[in-house]
Every structure is written in structure tokens, then in C-alpha cells.
Amino acid sequence: MHILPVLLLASLVVAPGCLSLPKKGDSTRNTIKSIINIAQTTLVHIRILRAEFPVTLQIESSAPSINGLTNISYDLGLLDNELQSPDSLSQIQADVSSLEGLVRSLALTMNCPVKAKPRGQTGDNSFPDTHLYLTLTKVQSYLDKFLLNKDKLKVC
């Protein structure tokens, strides 16, 4: 009979800690983990899509430098705009758009200056397959470099 009051008291003592909201640091860490997971998943999507091309083109693309949240957010916005047109890139565009939104949110949470989201551009689609491959190469190059510099998610 004495066990029931002890269990009740123990549950009341432990419960407030279980019900508390996550701290800002925990939230930031979780957001960074989500950003990294989405970037890794997007790279898998790109590799699968590139494997469907009948011929591998030898196109190289250099990614811009990754300096901090402000630049990452802006660069992802540019890539998001570039991914808008081809229908076959809708999943990758959704991934990049999600990444951009999470990075922008993280930057605002950390009181970083955030540039306005770049406006969409209409590109020349005279050679749609080449444009598609080049766009995938740009996104892959940027995300590879981004993952190597993921520590920049902690600075403005």
C-alpha cells in the first residue's frame, strides 16, 4: 500500500521536467540536424535522378563560398529559383525550398541579417536536358560544399 503514494509522488516530481518546452539551444540543434538531413537526402535524390540520364555529361560547376547563415539562405534561394522550371526536378526543388526556409528561420532565430529572397529568373531553355543536368550539377556541388562547411550554420 505504501508503494502507490511513493509512485504518485515520484511521477509528480518527474512530470514537470518531461512536459517543459525545449530550450533555445535544443531547438537550434534540432533545426541544424534537420537541415543537414534534408541536404543529405537531396543529394541522394540528385544522384538517383542523374543516374537516369542516358549519357553522363562532363559539366563542372563551382559553388559559391559558404560564409554563414545569411549567405547560405540567399544561395539556396537562388538555387530554388533555378529549380522552378523543369517538372522533373520538383522533388529536388521542394527539398531546396525546405532547406532555404529552415536556414532562413534559423538565421532569424539567431538574429542574423537575412537578405530578401531572390526573385525568380526565366532562363533560356533551348537545350532543356543540358540545362537540367547543369542545374543538378550546381545544386549537388553546392550541397556537397555546404555539408563540408556545416559548422557555418552556427554563425551569421
List the CATH number of the domain containing 43.
1.20.1250
The whole-angstrom separation of Cα 137 and Cα 65 is 16
Give the pLDDT confidence score for residue 22 in this predicted structure: 52
Give the pLDDT confidence score for residue 43 in this predicted structure: 95
| Number of separate domains in the chain | 1
In sequence order, the 6+-apart residues with CB closer than 8 A to the CB of 156 are 68, 69, 70, 107, 110, 111, 112, 113
Residue 14 lies in a domain: no
Give the pLDDT confidence score for residue 17 in this predicted structure: 47
pLDDT-based confidence at residue 135 (cuts at 50, 70, 90) = confident
The whole-angstrom separation of Cα 1 and Cα 144 is 61
> How confident is the prediction for the chain on average, in pLDDT?
78
Average pLDDT value for residue range 88-96: 85
Residue 8 lies in a domain: no
Give the pLDDT confidence score for residue 120 in this predicted structure: 66
pTM: 0.73
Residue 2 lies in a domain: no
pLDDT-based confidence at residue 54 (cuts at 50, 70, 90) = low
Q: Which range of residues forms the domain containing residue 140?
A: 30-54+68-154
Give per-residue pLDDT as tens, 100-125.
999 999 999 999 988 888 776 655 56
- pLDDT above 70 as % of the chain: 70
